[in-house]
Structure 1
Amino acid sequence: MRAFASSLLRVAPRVREALANGEPVVALESTIISHGMPYPQNVRTAREVEAVVAEHGATPATVALVDGRIHVGLAGEELERLADGAEAVAKASRRDMAAVLSRRVLGATTVSGTMIAAHMAGIRIFATGGIGGVHRGAETTLDVSADLTELGRTPVTVVCAGAKAILDLPRTLEYLETQGVPVVAYGNGGELPAFYTARSGLMAPWCMDTPEQVARMVRTSADLGLQSGMVVAVPIPAEHAQTGAEFERAIDTALREAEVQRVAGKECTPFLLRRVTELTRGASLVANIALVKNNARVASQIATSLAAMVSTGARE
């Protein structure tokens, strides 16, 4: 386990105990609470996702920046502060963390920020909804999520439903290859899921079907001393998958509106997700909640398998 070296890091007692005992822990991000969903669904979903992690044998560790420190594992009142809109919440990736902490304002961590905090605390597995990626039109805007470069330099495995459907998925996959990031399609016949749907038409470099297979790969990567992360892309449960022309039209409409209104940078993804939710009359929000819970379940199973391998010294 990595030492808790930074005075800026506060690891919740239940998370610290689990890590000290070699028990499975799953990190969770907080921008999904502050920027990804409306209140009160956001705080209710955050608590339900933590419950899913616990039900499958792991300790949840939601990450946020609170009053000048990185909190790994949040109390109930801290979840509520992130969710209820009573105070401004900064969206914090690698670029923003030092500023948010030094100013002692409330910050919600993106995939990038959560990976950094998880690595500092010694957590190898992280569950989220979808990763950021290369935005459509990036050939002119150069809008590429910091999540991708973080995956290239921080050894945390991110369990997700692929990149968000509003992004340029082929270019995102190419960028991850350039960063040396393994991408695993989990139980999907090798096809990369596309957030709201299990089908993207793109094949992932690797396909794995069990938590043990993924855990073995995570452990081998650590044994090699590789400092890159890994993407494990889990398809959304079939009963919640969103397909059809109406859904695609909603995404296209949201993208056009963002362009007209000149929404860019870190405000772009929250804007697009909010508009898609509105245009689909809430169907995308239901799907988003379902896939996050499913990813948390799979991440917990992987973390449990990894902890068992490490404790027994098993390699096969």
Structure 2
Amino acid sequence: MIPMTFSAEVQTARDAGTAIVALESTIITHGMPYPQNVETARLVEQDVRDAGAVPATIAVIDGTLHIGLEDDALTALGQAKDVAKLSRADFAACIAIGGTGATTVAATMIAAHLAGIAVFATGGIGGVHRGAETTFDISADLHELAQTPVTVVAAGAKAILDLNKTYEVLETLGVPVIAYGQDTLPAFWSRDSGMAAPLRMDTARDIATAMVVRNVMGLPGGQLVCNPIAQADEIPAADLSPIIAEALADAEAQGISAKAVTPFLLDRIFTLTDGRSLTANIALVRNNARLAAAIAIEMGSAAS
């Protein structure tokens, strides 16, 4: 057995059969500075509660997998230094050596499934990085979606990626990609990527039922729900395109690679947008948390 502990709130929800939504922790440790990171994490958790479900922020602390963080643990994680960024490859190793790490999309999906949590809310998934035809830089998130049965609610793949290749890989892997309430896929900070959505669903119940049917059929993997950022909070894709291009050029010039790429690009785009990207990021994560809570609630009734 792996060392795993549940927060008091999550344990109560498990005992009562209350809907639970998993939340990642890299947004706390690698997404923004203290204290804004902790304030945002608490806002997102409260959004889940207000929507009728229970939040479970996931992290590894001193070799123990935490499903839900107590308030003091969340504060401490928000101020911790040199926290590992965990994905499938290094998740088990971090636990084995008693380390502390924040979970990415892939690691959060693994932990959620271990804990019996079927729905996970995040900002945006990782995917195929631009230039991957020479670097082979492809996020483990895509393969995780193909094998771990968790519904992931995101504002699409991060706009810094090669979106066409990302969704092509997801199609090849057999991952359902569902746009919520519109016919096109969103692009993280922007509502419309210009790409047609493979699937469209307009209700949380339809999304929940689709996952239940997938499980009954014995199909492996989860599903990606692409929830567009609210119109009032978005940064139009046309405004972002030259900014992303500049940030990518800076990363290449500085030799940034592997896990360092995404944090570097997000920080550079924050500077180039005078902070608008972070404001939009917080808005979209909260929007995703609310939809994920609705799906989690429907999942319980759809499965019965």
Bucket of the pairwise TM-score, normalised by the shorter protein: over 0.9
Kept in 2: contact 1:81–1:87 (CA 8 A): no
Deviations 1:152-211 (A, max 9, x none): 1100010000000000001000000111100000001x2110001111111121100011
Q: Percent identity?
A: 53
Distance 1:35 1:118 in 2: 20
Equivalents in 1 of 2:176, 2:185: separation in Å? 12
Pairs within 5 Å for 1:63-74: 63-74=58-69
Where does residue 242 of structure 2 map in the other structure?
A: 249
SS in 2 for 1:158: strand
Deviation of 1:269 after TM superposition, in Å, equals 0.5
- Output the CA distance in 2 between the equivalents of 1:44 and 1:110: 19
Whether 2:290 is the aligned partner of 1:297: answer yes
Residue 55 of structure 1 pairs with residue 50 of structure 2: yes
What amino acid sits opposite 2:55 in the alignment?
P
Determine the C-alpha separation between the residues in 1 that align with 2:237 and 2:3. 47
Q: Please tell me whether the aligned partners of residues 32 and 42 of structure 1 are also in contact (alpha carbons under 8 angstroms).
A: yes
Amino acid at match of 2:222: G
Q: Which residue of 1 aligns with 2:275?
A: 282
Matched, 1:156 2:150: yes
Whether contact under 8 Å (1:127, 1:158) holds in the other structure is: yes
Aligned twin of 1:90: 84
* Residue correspondence of structure 1 range 12-161 to structure 2 within 5 A: 12-84=7-79, 86-161=80-155
Q: What is the deviation of 1:20?
A: 3.4
Q: State the 1:130 CA deviation.
A: 0.2
* 8 A Cα contact 2:23 2:56, kept in partner: yes
Equivalent pair of 2:51/2:290 in contact (CA under 8 Å) = yes
Q: Distance in 1 between matches of 2:237 and 2:95?
A: 43
Q: Taking structure 1 as the reference length, what is the TM-score of the superposition?
A: 0.93
Is the 8 Å Cα contact of residues 19 and 122 (structure 1) preserved in structure 2? Answer: no
- Gaps of at least 5 residues in structure 2 are none
Pair 59,141 (structure 1): closer, same or farther in 2 beyond 3 Å: same
Secondary structure (helix, strand or coil) at the match of 2:225 reads strand
Deviations 1:4-44 (A, max 9, x none): xx332212232133223322100000001111122221110
Paired position in structure 2 for 1:3: none
Distance 2:290 2:53 in 1: 9
In structure 2, which of residues 203, 211, 215 is the aligned counterpart of residue 210 of structure 1? 203
TM-score for the superposition, normalised by structure 2:
0.97
Displacement of 1:247 after TM fit?
Answer: 2.6
Q: Deviations over 1:55-110 (max 9, x none)?
A: 000000000001111111001122122222x4211000011112211222210000
> Using the alignment, how far apart are the partners of 1:82 and 1:264 within structure 2?
25
* Cross-structure match for 2:216: 223
Cα distance in 2 between the residues matched to 1:194 and 1:135 = 14
* Aligned equivalents of 2:147, 2:29: Cα separation in 1: 26
Tell me, in whole angstroms, the C-alpha distance in 2 between the residues paired with 1:290 and 1:64: 22
What one-letter code is carried by the residue in structure 1 that aligns with 2:149? P
2:265 counterpart residue number: 272
Amino acid at match of 1:9: M
Q: What CA distance in whole angstroms lies between the structure 2 residues aligned with 1:220 and 1:21?
A: 24
1:244 is displaced (CA, Å) by 5.9
Question: How many residues are aligned here?
Answer: 304
2:240 and 2:136 map into 1 onto residues whose CA distance is: 26
Contact conserved, 2:193 with 2:237, CA < 8 A, in 1?
Answer: no
* 1:246 shift after superposition: 4.4
Superposed CA RMSD: 1.2
Structure 1 residue 225, shift from structure 2 partner: 2.2
Runs of 4 or more consecutive aligned structure 1 residues displaced over 3 Å after TM superposition: none
SS in 2 for 1:143: coil
